[in-house]
Amino acid sequence: MRYTHLLFDADGTLYDFKAAEVYAITKLFEELGVPNTASMMEVYSIINKTLWKEFEDGCVTIEALKTERFRRFFTHLGMDKDPIAAGVRYLDFLASSNHMFDWTVEILERLRTDGYRISLITNGIARVQRGRLAVTGTAGLFDDIIISEEIGVQKPDPSFFDFVSAEDRKNYLIIGDSLSSDIAGGIAAGIDTLWYNDGTQKANSVQPTYQLDSMDKLPDFLRAI
């Protein structure tokens, strides 16, 4: 077994954040009386993605992100709504979402049976991630859960991976869907990476060690390398 410890990203890799986001924003729009249209969803999604990239780059804090995405959203649409209250309620809805990919539990259980140590590594907001782990009953599938908000540093900063000892890094593999966060962070930290790309993302100059288009293939892929 080439690797002994697998470091999984959460959103977009094991948990279906797109579905969770639609669920949470739909519930919020209903509560606020905001029209729930495809164009409204698209506006929010663009603003949210922009802010998460700013967070990865260290331009905004996680606390600012929670409110700023709704401040920008309401300002863009000319709505007189409270972004702080909206941010709190949105996190409530996200934390109660149970959206996973169909294969998530099966794959993790197979990998644990194969003898891998498994960690969850996420930039997600702590109470959201802890809430979703509880709702889905998946917390027990991980040996470690590392959340950027709880340790005070986020991917791709290589210091996010300081819990991995230098001499053991050759035994670790980072598995994630984000080139800018998971893969770039792993490269900077000297850890091998596997980019999960289901065909919806475009490659760039960031070069993962491996690439896989389906998580169903992961256990056999790991046995073969």
Which pLDDT does position 201 carry in this prediction? 85
Residue 9 is a catalytic residue: yes
Q: Does pLDDT of 1 surpass 80? A: no
Please state whether beta strands 117-122 and 5-8 pair in parallel, antiparallel, or not at all (unpaired).
Answer: parallel
Which pLDDT does position 65 carry in this prediction? 96
With bands split at pLDDT 50, 70 and 90, how would you rate the model's confidence at 107? Answer: very high
Annotated active-site residue in 9, 16, 177, 182: 9
Gap between the Cα atoms of 152 and 61, Å rounded: 10
Q: Which residues, 6 or more positions from 142, have their beta carbon under 8 angstroms from its beta carbon?
A: 8, 108, 118, 119, 120
What is the mean pLDDT of the segment spanning 117-137?
96
What CATH homologous superfamily does 5-16+100-224 map to?
HAD superfamily/HAD-like (3.40.50.1000)
Q: Measure Cα distances from 41 to 73, 84, 87, 99, 188 in Å.
A: 10, 19, 15, 18, 34
- pLDDT tens for 149-167 read 999 999 999 999 998 877 7
- pLDDT tens for 181-199 read 999 999 999 999 999 999 8
- pLDDT tens for 31-70 read 999 988 888 889 999 999 999 999 989 999 999 999 999 9
What CATH homologous superfamily does 17-95 map to?
Putative phosphatase; domain 2 (1.10.150.240)
Residue 11 is a catalytic residue: yes
Q: Where are the domains of the chain?
A: 5-16+100-224, 17-95
**CA nearest to 10, candidates 104, 134, 127:** 104
